[in-house]
């Protein structure tokens, strides 16, 4: 498919994009737009340092592999709230996240991002699509992320996919951390993701959650930071499937394989509740 690109000097303000998101509550179509957005985005050193502190990354001279997601977040918002995007942003569920680090993420002041939606499929609970984000430097493609999103209530022709992501078997415990009541608000302040389900119990209940839940990408980043000595510095894939949400506050336990070119991880809550399963592998 020949994709048509819209090049932006910079994304719109997050405030205007969230207002646009709040105004759309219903599904308006059954086909993804064929275009995508591109923009040059600069690293903000203060924001990068705040992100490292929040997610426990050490400063090793490279961007954390999850940080380009933060850099591109407003561009993603603009795509998902565009007039031709058929699904409301509020209510989308992040099921799976895959990040490919093709080359080392060091010495970077800016990246050129491209964002588009692809791969619409029927699902037992509605439909899914992939939100694809790519980052280039002067040498070409450097980093790629694919986020699988669930649209609840969408009716599509075709066989519904009701398969569950592979759940890693028992693994040795590596570390644990406590997800405070306000971690959703602190993550939103740094990363810009102000989804109401993460901010407070009151706002979460408006969307069917009894308590606020942690951002999936915060849990993923915390796991990646803890696994920094297990995973190569480049030329690898890191992917996670989000299972049961982490209700705030709560303690979680990260278990993982030994260091090596490939391995598995899982994030559990008390009572054996699986919050996240994942894996890494060299490309």
Q: What does the domain layout of the chain look like in residue ranges?
A: 1-163, 165-283
Residues 6 or more apart whose Cβ sits within 8 Å of residue 36: 3, 4, 5, 6, 79, 114, 115, 116, 117
What pLDDT, on the 0 to 100 scale, is given for residue 220?
A: 98
How many other C-beta atoms can be found within 10 angstroms of the C-beta atom of residue 141? 14
What does the pLDDT read at residue 239?
A: 98
Tens of pLDDT along the chain (283 residues)? 688 999 999 999 999 999 999 999 899 999 999 999 999 999 999 999 999 999 999 999 999 999 999 999 999 999 999 999 999 998 899 999 999 999 999 999 999 999 999 999 999 999 999 999 999 999 999 999 999 999 988 988 877 766 666 778 889 999 999 999 999 999 999 999 999 999 999 999 988 889 999 999 999 999 999 999 999 999 999 999 999 999 999 999 999 999 999 999 999 998 889 999 999 999 9
Do domains 1-163 and 165-283 share one topology? The answer is yes
What pLDDT shows up at residue 164? 64
Longest dimension (CA), the chain: 49
d(CA 222, CA 104): 20
- Residue 160's pLDDT is 73
Q: What is the DSSP letter of 229?
A: T
List % helix, strand, coil for the chain (3-state, nearest 5): 25, 35, 40
The dotted CATH code for 1-163 is 3.10.129.10
3-state secondary structure 212-228: CECCHHHHHHHHHHHCC
Q: What is the pLDDT of residue 91?
A: 83
Contact 216, 187 (CB under 8 A): no
40 Cβ partners below 8 Å, 6+ apart? Answer: 110, 111, 112, 113
Q: How far apart, in Å, are the Cα atoms of 214 and each of 170, 173, 260, 264?
A: 23, 21, 29, 22
User: What does the pLDDT read at residue 158?
Assistant: 76
| C-alpha–C-alpha distance, residues 129 and 250, integer Å | 30
Q: Which CATH superfamily groups domain 165-283?
A: Hotdog Thioesterase (3.10.129.10)
Cβ pair 96, 165 in contact under 8 A: yes
Q: What is the pLDDT of residue 249?
A: 96
Distances (CA, A) of 259 to 102, 229, 230: 19, 7, 4
For residue 77, what is the DSSP state? H
């Amino acid at each position: 498919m020949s994709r048509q690109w819209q090049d932006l000097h910079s994304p719109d303000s997050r405030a205007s994009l969230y207002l646009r998101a709040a105004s759309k509550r219903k599904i308006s179509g059954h086909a993804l737009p064929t275009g995508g957005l591109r923009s040059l985005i600069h690293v903000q050193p203060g924001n990068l340092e705040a992100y490292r502190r929040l997610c426990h990354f050490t400063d090793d001279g490279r961007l954390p592999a999850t940080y380009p997601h933060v850099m591109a977040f407003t561009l993603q918002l603009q795509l998902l709230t565009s007039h031709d995007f058929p699904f409301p942003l509020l209510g989308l569920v992040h099921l799976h996240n895959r990040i490919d680090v093709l080359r080392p993420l060091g010495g970077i002041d800016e990246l050129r991002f491209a964002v588009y939606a692809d791969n619409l499929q029927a699902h037992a609970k509605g439909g899914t699509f992939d939100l694809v984000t790519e980052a280039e430097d002067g040498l070409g493609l450097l980093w790629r992320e694919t986020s699988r999103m669930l649209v609840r209530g969408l009716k599509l022709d075709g066989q519904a996919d009701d398969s569950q992501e592979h759940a890693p078997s028992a693994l040795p415990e590596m570390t644990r951390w406590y997800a405070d009541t306000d971690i959703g608000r602190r993550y939103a302040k740094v990363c810009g993701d102000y989804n109401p389900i993460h901010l407070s119990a009151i706002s979460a209940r408006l969307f069917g959650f009894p308590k606020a839940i942690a951002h999936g990408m915060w849990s993923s980043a915390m796991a990646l930071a803890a696994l920094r000595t297990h995973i190569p510095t480049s030329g690898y894939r890191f992917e996670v499937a989000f299972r049961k949400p982490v209700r705030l506050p709560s303690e979680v336990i990260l278990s993982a394989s030994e260091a090596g070119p490939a391995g598995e991880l899982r994030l559990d809550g008390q009572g054996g509740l699986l919050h996240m399963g994942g894996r890494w592998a060299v490309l």
